[in-house]
Amino acid sequence: MGSNLVVRLLKSVLRGDRRRATRYTVDLADGCVGVENGLGVAIFDLSATGALIGGSDLPDAGAVVTLTRGSLSAAATVAWREETRAGLQFHRPLPVEQLFTIVHSAQYRRGAGVPAALAA
């Protein structure tokens, strides 16, 4: 992971204004969101405080849901919904280690791999 991404991640987690946390593109197609039964969604971006998701038949704004993917399980409220996209606001910020791991693994899946400086 590039040093610039690490710096942005740490700054977003450590700043006091949690509602404006930096979002990181993750493009994960295998997420799940639901009130009772899980609905398959894509997770387009992720921050310590929320996520942008996409899919069909998404819950309406104000619905309380749980976003899951692998080890991620975060209670959230649907902040807004427009057709096939919705913004989630997490009830509790994601731990920095978990956010770092998800962002890193998503970048690695896209072929970014390990930066040359770390691989050497």
CATH number of 87's domain: 2.40.10.220
Q: Which pLDDT score is estimated for 57? A: 87
pLDDT band at 94 (very low <50, low <70, confident <90, very high): very high
Alpha carbon 60 to chain centroid, angstroms: 19
pLDDT tens for 29-67 read: 888 887 666 788 999 999 999 999 999 889 999 999 999
pTM of structure: 0.73
Distance CA 118, CA 120 (A): 6
pLDDT at 2: 58
What range defines the domain where residue 35 resides? 3-110
Does 90 fall in a domain? yes
- The structure tokens 């639901």 sit at 34
Q: 112 φ, ψ to 5°?
A: -65, -30
CB proximity list for 69: less than 8 A, separation 6 or greater: 28, 30, 31, 32, 43, 102
Evaluate whether 43 touches 67 at the Cβ level (below 8 Å).
yes
User: What is the reported pLDDT for 8?
Assistant: 64
How many structural domains are present in the chain? 1
Name the more confident of 10 and 93.
93
- 115 in any annotated domain: no
**CB under 8 Å to 14, separation ≥6 — which residues?**
none
Average pLDDT over residues 103-111: 73
pLDDT of residue 120: 40
Which pLDDT does position 37 carry in this prediction? Answer: 65
Q: Return mean pLDDT, the chain.
A: 80
Q: How far apart are CA 39 and CA 31, in angstroms?
A: 8
Structure-token pair, residue 78: 């649907």
Residue 120, in any domain of the structure: no
Query: What pLDDT score does 106 carry?
Result: 83
